[in-house]
Every structure is written in C-alpha cells, then in structure tokens.
C-alpha cells in the first residue's frame, strides 16, 4: 500500500477516527485513501481555521486526538489561530500538513514556504516524514505525542504519500500524566493546615467532576478558597457539582478575588497573569507576600493529586454541590443580562457550551451555575474565531448531546463558514449570535490601556460593526442553517427553546443594545 | 508624542496613506493615534486575511506600500496566506504586528506566541522595535525596505506604542531597481541574433505597457517568441497593447508552449517550474537543450533592460498591439465559456480584474484580450482566498476605476467577510462568483496525480460543495452588498452590465453546470 493508506490505517489503529479536512493538490492521495479506510471519517471544512478549531473541540470532549489535514504553508497559516487556542487548551490534536514532493522543494514553486517554522510555533511535536516506509511509524509517534495533550504535526510530502511499500504501524501507548510525588502533597498539606489564607487555583483537567469534588472536600476541611483559571478548556459545572468561580479576565476584578491569599496552590493551572499589559500595572496577579505552591503542573496528574490531597487533609469531608436553580425569564427588550437569564433558564442537561460571548457573556456564569450539569468550553488562547468551529468538533465528538455556541458578532466573522459544516454534518448545534454591532471588548480596552482620551472618530470607527450591519440570519441561510432574529427576551426564549427541541443546526441572532 | 503617533506620522511622511486594520488590545494606542494623523486612512477588515490581501492589491496598483495592522501571533497567522501571495507578487507592504509590552513577554500570557517565526516566513525585512525613541526610525526603514517590493514587518510592543518621547523620522529613499549591466544585454542580444529559437518569458514589472512594447519590438525584429509568467501580479493587456499569452498552469499544456526553445530569456520572470509535483514528471519546465539567460531577476530593472535590449536589436521595429475586438454574447444556459464571453463583451475601459476564477476562468484570456485596456491581477502564490480582499485594496488604490472580482465559490469562502469591507467603504467592486458547487480544480488534480483510481465517495465528498449549496446572494446581502443570481447567459449579461453601471459594490452569483 502507499504511504497515505498506511498513514490513515495507523491513525485509525491508534484510535483517531475523524479527520477535519481542507485539502489541496498535494493531499490528493491522502484524500483518495479515505475510501480504503472507512473507519476514518472525513469532515470537510471550507476554511482551515474551522478544521483546527473543530479538532480542538473534539479533543476537549473525548480526550483523544482528531486528525486535521491541511494544505502546505498557507493552509497551515489559516489554521494557526485555532491551533494556538488548542495549544493553550492542552488539546490532543494530530496535524497532517501536506507538502510538495521531496524533489520538488528546491524549485521554490509558488506555494513553497517555510512550513516547519509555522508548525514549530504551535506544536509540541513536529516531524517531517521522509520516506513512505517510515510514515506509519511517524504517525504512531504523532498520536502518542498528541495524546499527552499537545499539537503533534506530521509534515507529509506528496511523494511520501503516493509511494508504495508502506505498512501500518502499531499504536504506541500514550504516556499517562505523571503522578505527583508524596513530598509535594505533604508540603501542600502543611500549607493548608497552617491556618494562613490559602487558595487553590484549578485548571486543565482539574475542573472536571472528580477533581472539583476533591477540591471541594479540601475547601470544606481546611477553609481554603477555590477558583478556576480564567479560560478553562472544558469545565464541568451545574447543579450538584461544586460551584467554583473563574478568575476574572480583568486584572482589576481578579485582584480582589486573590487578595489576602498567603498560599496559592496551583492544581493544573498556571500562576495568574494579566491577559494584557497595561501602563503602570504589574503583569503578575500573585499578591505580595503570597507563596506559590505547584501541586500539579502541565503533564502532572492534577485530579489524582487533588484526590490524594483530599484523602490527606479532608478524609471525612464531603463535597458541596451547587443547588439546582434557574433564573426566571424576564420581560422586555433583549439585553445581555436577559439573554443570559434565558440561557440559564433553558440550558438542557448534558449541554456542551462553546463560549465565545466575550463582553456579552459576563452574566452567563451566575445565570447557568444551577442549571443541570453541563460542560463549558472557553477561549483558552484568546485568538477569536474559535466558537463556531469548536462547537462543530464538540458535536461530532458527542453526537448524543446538545451543543450551544454562544458567539459574539465580531468573533463569529473570523470563521463564519463553520456554519456550513454545521449544516453539512447535520450537527445539533444551536448558535446564538450576540449582536451588539461593535468590537465591544476593544472599546472597553481602549479605555483600560489609557488610549481613550486621544481616540476620536477615526479610532472608534475601527471598533464599530454597524456600517453596514451584519445580518446573521442571511449569513446562516446562505450556508444552509435555519435562522431567526430576536429583539425581545420573550422572543429569544421561544426561539432558543424551539432550536433546542429540533435536531440539527440553528442560529439565533440576538440583537443587543 | 508617543511611539504610535510618531510611527504613524513617519509612515504618512514616507507616503503610506492607508492602513488596513484588524486590531486588538495591544494595538489600541496605534488605533487612538489615527485621530491625530488624519492623513492616514484606517480601513477596518473583519478578518486579517482581508487586510493583508487588500494591502497586496493596493501595492500592486500603486507601487507604494499600504500598512497593515494586526494583533499578535494569531492575527498574523490569519494574515499569512495572503502575505504569502503578496510575497510572491513582489508587492510593497508594511506590516505592523502589535505585541505584548516588553516586560509582559516573559509571563507567557495566553496570547503569547512566536511572532518572529511567523513573520520571518513571509517577510523580506523584519524588525522588533525595542524603544519608543527608535520606532519612527524603524518605521522609515520598513517603508524603504517594503518599497523594494517585499513585505516589511515591524513588530510593535504595546509599551513602545504608548510611551512618550518619540519623534517622527524622515523618509528614507527607496532603493531603485538595479540597472542591468551592458554585458548581460550584450549576451542576450547575441543569443537573439544567433538565429536559434528564442523565447522571452516576461514577469514582474515586465508585463506592463512599456516593457511589453519593448518586448514586442524585439519579437518583431528577431523572431523571438513572447510569453508571460503563469501568475503575474499585475498585467496590462487589451486592445492596443501587445498580446502576450501566459504560460499555462498545467505542465502538460505549458510543455508545448515552451517546446523547441533553445534560448529562454527571463525578464522579471523565474525559470518555469511545475506548480505541483506529479509522479514520474519533472519539476523543471525548461526544455532539454535550452539555455537559460537571466536578463533581469527580482530587484533588477526588467522594463529598462527590455527597452535597452530593444534599442540594441530592434531599433527600427514597432510594437504590435492587439486589435480591438469583443466576443458576441451567446444565448442559452450560463456556462464558464459563455460567462467569459459576457465579461469580454462588457469589460469596461481601465477595469482592474482580480482573477481568482480558477477552472471557471480558462476561457477568460482569449475572451478579454481585445477588450479596452485593463489590468489583470492573478493568484501569484496559489493561496486561495485572495480575490475579494485584493479587489478591495485595488479599489481603494484606484477609486476612479471599475474593479471586477472574478471569484470561484470555494475560494471565496476563505475570506468572504471582505464583502463587508466592500460595502463599508462603498467600493466600486463587481464580484462575480463562479458557482459550480465543487472544488473543481481538486477533482481535476485528483486525476492528474494518479489518485482518481482509488478515490470513491469518501474522497469525492471532500471536493464537493453541494450539500448544502452555498447561497452567495444571501451571504452578500448579510454583509450589505446587493446581489443577484444568473442561470442564463442573457440574465448574467444584463446583471453584469447593470452592476458596472451603478456605483458601489455588487455581487452576481453565476450558477455554472
């Protein structure tokens, strides 16, 4: 068999079952090989950023990598922003970038560019397959590397793909997370028992139920406070799960959350830093006189460490679950607040929320905290254009669960063609566009960085999306997704309820003040 | 004044008058400074690839750089594909990439990534400004570097932008193209006079009128044949201009064009290579027994060399202009051929054509060769998603000229939000979407690479855009661009004529078999 067939068989053998694809000529043998390996599902995306964002969503939900097939350096370039988010999420992802045939490289054909430089910027593991006979072994290593929670990139020359003489390679066991040594547990236990104010910052896999319940027990027994990182990859929350607030995005709101802490214990989270720099303000958010303890860093078994720690310091404590409660649906014109109440009131059990609501979503946390248990996926790397692709991947990963994409109008436009993939694959994704006709977060940041004073019409026009207004119902219809528009809370509630009740994709344009 | 103000004043002083922008928080001081320097026009794009493609179009039409303002590594990533095309076009372009404040870098905040690696892959010149006092001098150097026909990237830390104490820097004269030495001219003249079959391959600035006329004189006097490179950045053509065919995209069609050539003379073009590699076929398209003469390479004054060469070998010869002639508009259902005839029949004088029609545009060359003089911009780097952004930049560069974007359906979707910029800026761009509901070029390439035999439904579904069909009239309406749809040649002709007659943007969805 040729290299492409051996590659795909190896991927399938290692548990990779979906390939989000935007191929070109150099990938045609990979594409043709999909028919020989029916266990690999090819999903077409009309833009590379949709493919990479979807694979990120798939990885967050399954813990296993999907593959992504991209075309040469420009295709990889288009996929980079959501690969950046995947890298920050610690998502497993196998990226296959087709390249020119080995002998063609030196001719510097028009599509030639430095693929390796781009791949290196987002990948924890990168390899260029040089022979058809090697590509299957390379692929097996890529899956193992990706499974550790990173982007693994295999650069695949066209001739390596089409040359015969390849054989599938056996799967390589993925390295499990490292257990946390007893001394570390002992040190943290000592800090928790010392009576000084302590705070456990949870992140990565430590914002899922087992870790949250362990942390809740520790908090109950020791008085330690709990916070989750600002942008978790996938947080389990809702009624019955321990309620843990997220560290605020704005440093001036995060500071009071952290104030007075003498022991900051990091469990799968990194030490908190300001998202951006601001004139005259510090980058680190760790309070003065606060000692930082790394219970579990990236690659460590954070849930296991928390459970072991709970058994040490909170053997008799029980976790506290959030009470089941939903907000009432208010009357009147639709606002960000009333939209949040509707979402909290109607969020279905086991929903997966892809949240790129930015400024419009500030009220979502409290409004949904008592809804039935659900998963919340956030913008881990800050590269906007994640929400619609991520929802596609989550829906493919979890076909029996409702997916809700909460999306800002400005962010939606970066990867709007993801709606077509929602339609083509018949995904049960309900997209809500929060349409405030501005880059509202930038209008806020303009002030926060101290630039608002000198900004006038020229500056503000670059933050304005109202001339012309975007009609998201037309955009959705153009890509085969049924869509409605709401200007009142009641209408939004009715449309949201109906979209959830019907299978397949829907879009609701929520017009906000 | 702060660094951002000094930077923008320096750009304006050096002749940079437009900044295609998709900013974020780290660029807010640059944005705010636009109000202090009204001679800089900020143009908002909803996706970075639109900004970079528009700047490419602007540079191709004016020969001067526009600026592009992008946000950190992910913003640059989204802009890379069209920067790749700009690099291959030899377009002047000043890229400003905002970065975190210098002291913030080490905290590895969520949006931190390797900007320098990405910038290096597309830039001929890259610098990271380190002090507010230096940024203006850096900007002046960037403009000079860009003016030589390359992407010049200035990485701008937020604190360098907002810190006071900067002053504008004077413009630095751009280095003119290098004159071609007399010995080179003499060697080429000797080859042309030797009586063996010679072919002059024209590219870069040598496909504009002065160079084309000189080449036409040389051909008339010596019998040399003329061809243009496959994908010129900007070719002047039409009635009265020398008719020069382009080298075919398909190697099997290019081979007969080049066959028999004993002397291949490169004037602003590179030695011809196959766009992609194919099993068992050579990458170089230079015939055996053919001597390659580099009359003018990149950075050389190719038009000047051709004029000097014409004075040497064709002192008494006159150029031959193409006759004025237009095709008749046929009856019946719309096809790629009949659409080409309509475009040839109606193309207005001084039109600028942004051509990303791919397989649908095969008949455009002959159909438009006798139309009134016009400029033709092609997909220089092969990274699709260029056409709509390029048209925006060309329209801003040449507000008194009609711009026509000929766009494939698949390619259009990569940067579809460029339509919003067409609408916001009121650009006189007529977009024709050739809607054949497939990646038709890939269906062709699947066969050419020898993979069609093993491809089945799974493979072919990845080349298919028909489930669901894209409704480009809805997409255009959603972004404020009036749109129509045509299925017959007569209707397409009527719609095309009306769109050209009315100011502002229009879109026509041309439904093809």
Query: What contacts B272, CB < 8 A, 6 or more positions away?
Result: B201, B229, B230, B247, B254, B258, B284, B285, B286
Asked if residue A244 lies in contact with residue B126, where contact means CB atoms within 8 angstroms, the answer is no
Can you give the pLDDT at residue A62?
98
| Average pLDDT of the segment spanning B285-306 | 97
CB within 8 Å: B480 and A468: yes
| Average pLDDT of the segment spanning B229-252 | 97
Tell me the residues of chain A between 13 and 42 that have a Cβ less than 8 Å away from chain B: 21, 23-26, 28-29, 31-36, 38, 42
Structure tokens at B197: 């079959």
User: Measured in whole angstroms, how far is the alpha carbon of residue A360 from the centre of its chain?
Assistant: 18
- Closest-CA residue of chain A to B274: A109
Whether B454 contacts chain A with CB within 8 A: yes
For residue B367, the number of C-alpha atoms closer than 13 Å in the C-beta half-sphere is 20
Q: Which residues of chain A does B114 touch, with a Cβ-Cβ cutoff of 8 Å?
A: 120-121
**What pLDDT band is residue B293 in, cutting at 50, 70 and 90?**
very high
Nearest to B470 among A31, A468, A479 (CB): A479
Phi, psi of B421 (to 5 degrees): -65, -35
Alpha-carbon distance of B372 to B325, in angstroms, equals 9
Tell me the residues of chain B between 298 and 357 that have a Cβ less than 8 Å away from chain A: none
**Mutation choice for B interface testing from A31, A103, A272, A457 by most B CBs within 10 A:** A31
Can you give the pLDDT at residue A113?
97
Q: Which residues of chain A does B108 touch, with a Cβ-Cβ cutoff of 8 Å?
A: 270, 273
- Looking at residue A166, what DSSP letter applies? -
Q: Which residues of chain A does B410 touch, with a Cβ-Cβ cutoff of 8 Å?
A: 46
**pLDDT tens series, chain A, 513 aa:** 999 999 999 999 999 999 999 999 999 999 999 999 999 999 999 999 999 999 999 999 999 999 999 999 999 999 999 999 999 999 999 999 999 999 999 999 999 999 999 999 999 999 999 999 999 999 999 999 999 999 999 999 999 999 999 999 999 999 999 999 999 999 999 999 999 999 999 999 999 999 999 999 999 999 999 999 999 999 999 999 999 999 999 999 999 999 999 999 999 999 999 999 999 999 999 999 999 999 999 899 999 999 999 999 999 999 999 999 999 999 999 999 999 999 999 999 999 999 999 999 999 999 999 999 999 999 999 999 999 999 999 999 999 999 999 999 999 999 999 999 999 999 999 999 999 999 999 999 999 988 888 899 999 999 999 999 999 999 999 999 999 999 999 999 999 999 999 999 999 999 999
Query: What contacts B20, CB < 8 A, 6 or more positions away?
Result: B43, B45, B50, B51, B52, B54, B55, B58, B66, B67, B68, B69, B393
Nearest CA-CA distance, residue B125 and chain A, Å: 16
Nearest CA-CA distance, residue A432 and chain B, Å: 16
Whether A380 contacts chain B with CB within 8 A: yes
Asked if residue A232 lies in contact with residue A208, where contact means CB atoms within 8 angstroms, the answer is no
Nearest CA-CA distance, residue B451 and chain A, Å: 6
Whether B160 contacts chain A with CB within 8 A: no
Can you give the pLDDT at residue B453?
87
The ipTM (two decimal places) reads: 0.97
pLDDT, one tens digit per residue, over A149-188 is: 999 999 999 999 999 999 999 999 999 999 999 999 999 9
Asked if residue B128 lies in contact with residue B157, where contact means CB atoms within 8 angstroms, the answer is yes
Q: Which residues of chain A does B380 touch, with a Cβ-Cβ cutoff of 8 Å?
A: 110
C-alpha distances in Å from residue B338, one per residue of B164, B331, B363, B403, B488: 61, 8, 9, 20, 9
Alpha-carbon distance of B344 to B363, in angstroms, equals 10
Q: Which residues of chain A does B477 touch, with a Cβ-Cβ cutoff of 8 Å?
A: 471, 474
How many Cβ atoms from other residues are within 10 Å of residue A472's Cβ? 27
C-alpha distances in Å from residue A195, one per residue of A191, A261, B115: 8, 11, 45
Structure tokens at B124: 């001929």
Q: A342: helix, coil or strand?
A: helix
Alpha-carbon distance of A441 to A439, in angstroms, equals 6
| Average pLDDT of the segment spanning B188-213 | 98
Nearest to A111 by CA among B276, B21, B78: B276
Whether A365 contacts chain B with CB within 8 A: no
Structure tokens at B19: 């900044």
Nearest CA-CA distance, residue A266 and chain B, Å: 16
- Closest-CA residue of chain B to A115: B121
Nearest CA-CA distance, residue A471 and chain B, Å: 4
Query: What contacts B416, CB < 8 A, 6 or more positions away?
Result: A416, A417, B388, B475, B479
pTM: 0.98
- Closest-CA residue of chain A to B80: A77
- Closest-CA residue of chain B to A101: B277
C-alpha distances in Å from residue B434, one per residue of A280, A470, B255, B381: 54, 24, 28, 21
What is the DSSP annotation of A354-374? EEE-GGGGTTHHHHHTTSSSE
Backbone angle region of B260, left / alpha / beta, with phi > 0 → left and psi within -120 to 50 → alpha: left
Instruction: Output the average pLDDT for chain B.
Output: 97
Pairs of CB atoms within 8 A across A/B = 331
C-alpha distances in Å from residue B311, one per residue of A224, B191, B207, B215, B300: 88, 15, 18, 11, 18
pLDDT, one tens digit per residue, over B73-114 is: 999 999 999 999 999 999 999 999 999 999 999 999 999 999
Helix, strand, coil distribution of chain B in percent, nearest 5 = 40, 20, 40
User: What is the percent of chain B where pLDDT is above 70?
Assistant: 100
């Amino acid at each position: 068999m040729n290299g492409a067939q051996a590659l795909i068989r190896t991927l399938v053998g290692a548990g990779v079952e979906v390939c989000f694809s935007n191929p070109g000529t150099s990938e045609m043998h990979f594409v043709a090989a999909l028919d020989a390996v029916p266990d690999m599902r090819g999903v077409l995306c009309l833009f590379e950023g949709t493919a990479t964002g979807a694979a990120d969503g798939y990885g967050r939900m399954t813990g296993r990598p999907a593959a992504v097939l991209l075309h040469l350096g420009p295709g990889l370039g288009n996929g980079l922003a959501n690969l950046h988010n995947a890298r920050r999420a610690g998502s497993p992802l196998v990226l296959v970038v087709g390249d020119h045939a080995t002998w063609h490289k030196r001719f510097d054909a028009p599509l030639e560019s430095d693929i390796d430089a781009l791949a290196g910027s987002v990948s924890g593991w990168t390899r260029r397959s040089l022979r058809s006979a090697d590509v299957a072994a390379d692929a097996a290593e890529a899956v193992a590397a990706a499974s550790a929670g990173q982007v693994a990139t295999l650069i695949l020359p066209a001739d390596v793909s089409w040359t015969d003489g390849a054989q599938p390679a056996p799967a390589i066991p993925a390295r499990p997370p490292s257990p946390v040594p007893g001394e570390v547990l002992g040190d943290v236990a000592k800090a928790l028992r010392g009576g000084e104010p302590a705070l456990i910052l949870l992140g990565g896999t430590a914002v899922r139920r087992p870790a949250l319940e362990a942390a809740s027990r520790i908090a109950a027994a020791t008085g330690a406070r709990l916070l989750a990182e600002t942008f978790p990859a996938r947080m389990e929350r809702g009624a019955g799960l321990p309620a843990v607030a997220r560290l605020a995005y704005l440093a001036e709101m995060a500071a009071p959350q952290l104030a007075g802490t003498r022991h900051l214990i990091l469990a799968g989270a990194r030490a908190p830093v300001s998202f951006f720099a601001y004139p005259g303000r510090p980058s680190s958010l760790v309070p003065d006189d606060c000692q930082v303890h790394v219970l579990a860093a990236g690659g460590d078994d954070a849930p296991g460490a928390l459970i072991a720690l709970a058994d040490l310091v909170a053997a008799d404590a029980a976790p506290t679950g959030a009470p089941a409660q939903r907000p009432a649906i208010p009357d009147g014109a639709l606002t960000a607040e009333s939209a949040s109440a509707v979402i909290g009131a109607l969020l279905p059990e086991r929903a997966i929320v892809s949240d790129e609501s930015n400024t419009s979503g500030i009220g979502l946390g409290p409004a949904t905290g008592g809804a039935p248990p659900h998963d919340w996926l956030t913008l881990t790397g800050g590269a906007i254009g994640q929400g619609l692709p991520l929802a596609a991947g989550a829906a493919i990963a979890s076909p029996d669960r409702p997916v809700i994409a909460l999306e800002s109008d400005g962010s939606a436009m970066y990867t709007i063609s993801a709606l077509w993939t929602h339609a083509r694959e018949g995904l049960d994704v309900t997209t809500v566009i929060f349409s405030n006709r501005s880059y509202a977060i930038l209008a806020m940041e303009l002030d926060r960085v101290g630039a608002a004073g000198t900004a006038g019409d020229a500056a503000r026009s670059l933050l304005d999306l109202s001339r012309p207004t975007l009609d998201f119902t037309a955009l959705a219809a153009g890509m085969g997704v049924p869509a409605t528009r709401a200007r009142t809370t009641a209408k939004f509630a009715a449309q949201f309820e109906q979209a959830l009740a019907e299978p397949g994709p829907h879009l609701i344009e929520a017009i906000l003040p």
